[in-house]
Amino acid sequence: MNMNISRVLSTLFLLATVFSVRAEGVMVSDPWVRAAPPNAPALAAFMSLENHSGSEVALIGVTAAAELGRVEMHRTKMADGMMKMIQQKNIPVAPHSSTVLKPGSWHIMMIGPAKVPTVGDQIHLTLSFSDGSEQMVMAEVRRGGMMMKGGGHQMMHH
């Protein structure tokens, strides 16, 4: 009984979060975590952030379950003939625009996971934005590389 009530409450809470975020302008779509070898010392999560507001909003923090390790924001950039990993303080999304986190570009990095999730697992991520909003997303673990089918621009349908 209690379980049910808490489930309903958390569902309501999740919906409320999604709707409030939508009202404030950032929409998260297609969050995913790339499947990695069971002994991988690092993981990466990707998603598309759409800013429907008239001012810049940035992703300023990401938290995940402790077993996924330390979470950081990074960007891969080609420079001096190398793919450079540059840690980011935030990931900006320009007004009425979108920033796509994808392989070879912006990404969320999870360092030193105690247990590497497997294909099909759902990873809970909490995203904090510079406008004060927070959003919880479920990122599915799937295999993938640079050329994902449908990766990036699909909208979330609720």
Partner 1 sequence: MKRIFLKNSVALLLLFGLSAVLSGCDRSAERLNLDGSMVLSPPKELPEFIFEHRDMGKFSAENLKGKWSLFFFGYTHCPDVCPTELFMLSEVMRKIEKNPESVAEVPQVVFVSVDPQRDTPDSLQEYAGYYHQSFIGTTGEQESVDILARAMGTMYERVYYLNGKQLLIDEEEGVPEGVENSYLINHSASIFLVNPEGDMHAVFSAPHNPDVMVKDLATIQRAWD
Interface positions with partner 1 (CB under 8 A): 34, 36-44, 72, 74, 76, 78, 80-87, 89, 103-104, 107, 109-111, 143-147
- Angstrom CA distances, 147 to 108, 128, 150, stand at 18, 28, 9
Whichever of 36 and 47 has its CB closer to partner 1, that residue is: 36
Residue in the structure block whose two tokens are 């105690």: 114
Rounded to a whole number of angstroms, the minimum distance from the CB of residue 110 to partner 1 is 8
SS (H, E, C) 89-154: CCEEECCCEEEEECCCCEEEEEECCCCCCCCCCEEEEEEEECCCCEEEEEEEEECCCCCCCCCCCC
Rounded to a whole number of angstroms, the minimum distance from the CB of residue 118 to partner 1 is 11
Whichever of 29 and 103 has its CB closer to partner 1, that residue is: 103
Q: 110 pairs with which residues across the strands?
A: 43, 71
Whichever of 24 and 92 has its CB closer to partner 1, that residue is: 92
Whichever of 18 and 61 has its CB closer to partner 1, that residue is: 61
Rounded to a whole number of angstroms, the minimum distance from the CB of residue 35 to partner 1 is 9
Rounded to a whole number of angstroms, the minimum distance from the CB of residue 88 to partner 1 is 8
Whichever of 34 and 139 has its CB closer to partner 1, that residue is: 34
H or E, element range at 43: strand 42-51
Rounded to a whole number of angstroms, the minimum distance from the CB of residue 112 to partner 1 is 9
Q: Characterize the bridge pairing of strands 97-101 and 91-93.
A: unpaired
